[in-house]
Structures are given as structure tokens and as C-alpha cells.
Structure 1
Amino acid sequence: MRRESPAEIAAIAAQRLERLRASVPSDQSAPAAPLAVPVPHPGRHALHRPPPAPSRVAAWAGRRLPTLAGSARLRLGHLTGLLLVAALVLAVTAWWAVHRGSPTVPVAAPVASPAARTTGGSAPGPSAGASADAAPVALAGSATPSPVAASGTVVVDVAGKVRRPGIVSLPAGSRVVEALRRAGGARPGVDLTSLNLARILIDGEQLLVGVSPGSGAGSAAASGSAPASAPVSATQGASADTTGVASVNLNTATAEGLDELPGVGPVTAQKIIAWRTEHGAFRSVDELLEVDGIGPKTLAELAPRATL
């Protein structure tokens, strides 16, 4: 197709303008002078002049579009290859995740605690270590109190200068300080240095609070050594039986009967009766320490003859 020259384009534009002017109705005013349209004159440099802007845009688009189309095709091919590689990687990863074996986690066997082995009654084996030494004692039927009761509790007698003396039950493994706390604590001014508050309680023992270590019968209990309390009680009972002296019941005796106890006079006997009226029956001979006028020395003298 032949492109029109600039001169031809200008001539066509002038003809259309004349036709448009002829179609418009004329008015009374003088006609306006026609617009002068510059018509380029061809010369010897016409071939070297730049074409109009639309022609330049069209030429640039014609030169670039094939390159862009080829570039687009190249990039699409690259994208397709990348997608294939990604799909292959995902497939391999999924196959590996499904077919690989899960690591086996070793499960540690439960180990029974020493307390459970003791309460369960099973005899320790040769590899039990230090607990093997305790097995012959348990099988021999020794009378030594066991630190752990069969029921999982320990029962001890807290006596002496405490706020609530008597029998207390505590979980197995409890300490002396817990038994003292259960009894209401020591009375003000009582010296507790002779007690081992951190010692583990033994089932069936007696804790005598407020008695100095050199007070005779109560010294073993005051020091917190439970096994020594049994021989003391046995000695006291034997002396009462061998001497043949009548015992005095602290809960039923009158003032005259209490007066027969060594170290107890009429005034102290009345104080014992007054304490018995206020607090009820005596639950242990050691509760006499709560009576005003009776100390550890007097208690050691009258304990062999006092009964409940």
C-alpha cells in the first residue's frame, strides 16, 4: 500500500475544510478569511526529513513487537520448566516422607521408689544396694519400730510442755517438727535444743518436749531417740512390779491417794486434780509436766508408781 505524501495529506485536509465551510449556512457578517494551512513544498531534503509522529510510533511498534513476542515465548518456556522441576521435587519429598521409618524412641522402664518397695513387702535383690541390709531385719521379726508404717502413716505420742499433748497421726516420713506443730507447738519459754526437729518419726515412739537431757527417765525421749524409750519404760514397769508398791491411778485417785506419790504433797495433789478437772483425764504420765510444781526431776521420781 502506497503511503501518501505530506503534500497530498495537506491537500485532502484543505478539500474537507472547504466542504465543511460550504455546508454551514452563511450569515450577514462578512466571511472570515480562510485559515492558511501550511503546505510543505517538496525539496531536495524531503527524503531526509523525519516522518510524522504517528508514523514513527507505528514503525517502532513494528520493530519491537516481534522481539517482545519471542521474549514472551522464551519466558513461558522457562516457567514451564521450573514448574516441572518443582513438581518433581515435591513428588520426591512426598515419597521420602511416606516411606521413611519413624525413629524409635526408647521407653524407660518405671523404677519403683524405695518407699514403694518397702511397703509392697518385696524382698530386695542383690542389686538393691543399701536396702539389702534392711531385709534381714524385716524378715527376722525384730521388735525395732519401723520408720514407715504399713498403712503409710506413723502414730506418735507427743507429751510434755506442748499446747495439745496426745496421740497424733502423720504421713510416713514426717519429721519431729511436724509432730510438734500438730500438737500445737511448744509452750512459751520451752527449750527445744535437745530435740532433733529434723529427725524422721518412727511409728509408735513418744516425743517428750521440755525435758532436759539430764532429767533421768525423760532424757531419752527428750533427745528424740525413739528406740531408747522402750528400755526406759520396761525398766519403770519392772521396778513397780518388783518393789510391790501399789500404783496410783492419776485419773481416779483422790487428793490423799495422789499425796502418796513421791515428790507430791497436798498442794501439788490439789493442782493435779484441778488440771484433771479442766483438761479431762490424763492420756500419758508425761502430761504431769503441765501441772504447776512438777518438773522433770519430780516426774522421774513418781513415774514408776503412776498409772492411767
Structure 2
Amino acid sequence: MFEQSAREPGSPVNDRLSWLADQLSPDASTVGPGGRLIRRWLPGGAAGTGRRRWALAGVLAAVVAIILGAVALAGGGPAPEPPPALPSAKPAAEARAAPPPGLVVSVIGRVRSPGLVTVPQGARVADVLRAAGGPEPGADIRALNLARKVADGEQLAVGIPAPAAAPDPGSPAAGGKLDLNTATADQLDTLPGVGEVTAKRIVQWRADHGGFTKVEQLRDVDGIGESRFEKLREQVTVG
């Protein structure tokens, strides 16, 4: 870049070289103090001799080399940009993608390998049967929806009736009494003679009156007459 600027007309380097060539020329009309000093250094007497021309060429070459070297040292070039950093390699443990967690299903009944089986996410009943070794010969699997997706922790009964769900410990089916102040509408709906509408009325009465203080207050709930209350008396309690 600096060498090109030295060759362009009107540049400071070109002006200096032109001035120097004019001062050392034998035909120079006006010679300044600098030109006279350089002429004294040159060998020979007459300005037009061959030795003076060769000396002039040497001086010009030396001056050009000095000027270009000084410009190059002073200006320099832009520092090269460092190459972008390469992404660091991940540890081997992180590079290996962890497999998605599987689903654990309990398989009971007429299968070759009953027990707990692990199947991948999104597995279906057919996949669970296959993981359990398949159904035994003659096992009736018509009640199973083989295309149904299974959930983690469920139990699959093959060829036998599904076990009845354990009753809620606080429900009458479990032999306990329902607390009128804590039972939900769904739990109250299981009481004899209490349907969905009456269960909601019990919950609403409880909210309006700040709770039950005694079982006999069930008589105050709209829809519960004396005969229905007698059926509920031994099924509920007040905590």
C-alpha cells in the first residue's frame, strides 16, 4: 500500500524524489542549499559527467529505499485477526446422550414372564405383552386394547379379571365414616341416598355456616329428610 502511494502523483514521497532529481540535474536552473550540499558529496567535477550520473542514480536508489523503509516501519500494516476459537470438545459423558427414561409396568396374569417390565416412552399394551414374553397359550386377551398407550406405574392384567381398586380409607366402603367438614362432593356422593346434587348442597351448607358442629345438622340441608338422615347417621361424623 505504501509503495503504491509513493508512485502516485502528488504524494509527499514523489514530491521529494522529484525535488531531489531536479537539484542533482546538470540542467537545474536553481540549486538550493540542500542540492549544493549533495553535489559536494558527489565525485567528479563537471555536472554532466558519467560518474556523476551513476552517483546520482545510486543516491536516488538509496533515498528511495530509506524513505520506503521508514514509511513501512512507521505505518505498518493492520494486525492480522486471530482465527476464531474452535469449539471445545464436550466431555465424553456429556457427548453421549442419555436415553430417555422408560416406563415401568406391572404385568400380572397369564403371561410367560409376569412381573415388572420396562418399556420405552410411548409404548403400547402390545409392547408390554411382548416384553413380558407374550401371553400364555389359550389366554383370553380380547378385553385388552393392544393399541392403548401405557402409563408409568400402571398394572396390566392379562387373561384374568382386573383387581378391584382399593377403596378410599375415608369412604364407607372401607368401613370408615366420612367427615362432613372435610369430605369432598365426590366422596359424599358415595353415601347411600346422596346423589351429586345433594352432595353439592352439603358442601354449600358447610361453606355458608362455617362447617358442621354435629351430625344432626344434616337435617338442615335441603333435600335431606328424616328418612334419608337415618340412613346417613351411621355413615358420617363431625371432626
TM-score by length of 1: 0.22
TM-score, normalization by structure 2: 0.28
Write 1 or 2 for the structure with the bigger share of helix: 1
